[in-house]
Amino acid sequence: MNLKDCHNFEDFKKLAKKKLPSPIFHYIDGGSDDEVTLNRNTEAFNDYDLIPNVLNDVSNIDMSTTVLGEKIDFPLFPSATAMHRLYHHEGERASARAVEKMGTIFGTSTMGTVSIEEIGQINKGPKSFQLYIHKDRGLTDNLLERCKKAGFTSLCLTVDTVVAGNRERDRRTGFTTPPKLTLANIIHMTEKGSSIDKSVIDYINEQFDPAMNWKDAEYCVKKWNGPFALKGVMSVEDAKKAIDIGCTAVIVSNHGGRQLDGSRAPFDQLAEIVDAVGDKIEVILDGGVRRGTHVLKALSLGAKACSFGKGYLFALAAGGQKGVEKILANMKTEINRDMKLMGCRTLKELNRSKIIHRRN
Ligand SMILES: Cc1cc2nc3c(=O)[nH]c(=O)nc-3n(C[C@H](O)[C@H](O)[C@H](O)COP(=O)(O)O)c2cc1C
């Protein structure tokens, strides 16, 4: 099996499983507790059906949209994920190049293994820096200043990781990262947080600040003074607060089922959030996306765009830059074909008339 045999998520996952050491594969693939939320994230899409229109001249399709102040070629982008050099020796260098080539936003994590400055050199397209607030608050200001200088176009604050989820697969496999793998984004500032030659769970619990609150988030919004997403919002109440503190977007997400097991799937919760705040803030759906039709369903309920994590990480492991290009190209092709089959020429035409909850 090689890259040319990878037609969908499951194919990339199969190839990644062959290439990766087992603990690393399970670190990507696993969720928390009983993985109920992890599984529901994708299953949720199957409880809704699309309703196409026909005879609509779909010879020209426009899949572009504007998210976090940037025009992108199609309404999907890779979510920020940690430590790409664990999955492929080129790490974020490969994914950043692939994403620029495919014309969408590159999300890079605080827990990245290539520096902010180098990503800025490699990828000249739209870029979002995903921030975790560490106990050492001096890190935040420093990271934000470096991101501005490196040309990052937006900031994304992840708020669902005050402590690590209970990832039992990692406990079983004894997953740790090699000592020589450093977190390039924080190495400049602190020796303490520069490498995680222990479990990610221990790192999160020791370094992240569970005292993080709305005032801290507001501080980051003001300090960044540009397009800003709050990632990990699941309640209407919190989405409203995100508007109050000046966010541009909320990313409806449960961290891909890796944090609170039993929390609702983002797709199940999407309509309620869109109905409450969709006219005031961009709503992005993150989690469980495996197919072009999943993106179409989310947009029909009112999401501005979707993001996905595991899919492109398996593709990175399977084939480096070429792998990430391939999965993004596959998804772009699927979205294009599915829009035609839906009779939609622009993303605006995807609306509530195009989707229905299955009555069986
Ligand atoms: C291996 C892995 C590492 C991740 N690291 C981060 C991270 O550093 N920061 C973050 O905000 N989210 C992180 N996430 C969550 C993703 O950004 C995203 O929310 C999730 O993967 C979406 O679900 P999906 O994998 O079903 O597409 C990570 C996810 C995975 C699978």
Task: Choose between 259 and 194: higher pLDDT.
Answer: 259
pLDDT tens, position by position, 6-44 = 999 999 999 999 999 999 999 999 999 999 999 999 999
Q: What's the pTM? A: 0.97
Where does ligand 1 bind, in terms of residues with CB under 6 Å?
Answer: 27-28, 41, 79-82, 109, 111, 130, 158, 231, 253, 255-256, 286-289, 308-310, 313
Rounded Cα distance, 310 and 156, in Å:
18
Pocket test for ligand 1, best of 37, 39, 258 (most atoms within 8 A of CB): 258
Host domain of residue 295: 3-357
* 255 CA → ligand 1 middle, Å: 5
Determine the Cα angle at 319 with ends 317 and 320, to 5°: 75
**pLDDT of the residue at 182:** 81
* 265 CA → ligand 1 middle, Å: 14
The residue whose C-alpha atom lies closest to atom 13 belonging to ligand 1 is 81
CATH number at residue 251: 3.20.20.70
- 65-67 and 48-50: which strand pairing? unpaired
**pLDDT of the residue at 241:** 98
The answer to whether 252 touches 266, Cβ cutoff 8 Å, is yes
pLDDT tens, position by position, 127-156 = 999 999 989 888 999 999 999 999 999 999
Domain count, the chain: 1
* 77 CA → ligand 1 middle, Å: 12
Rounded Cα distance, 27 and 218, in Å:
32
* 82 CA → ligand 1 middle, Å: 7
* Main-chain dihedrals φ then ψ at residue 83, nearest 5 degrees: 55, 55
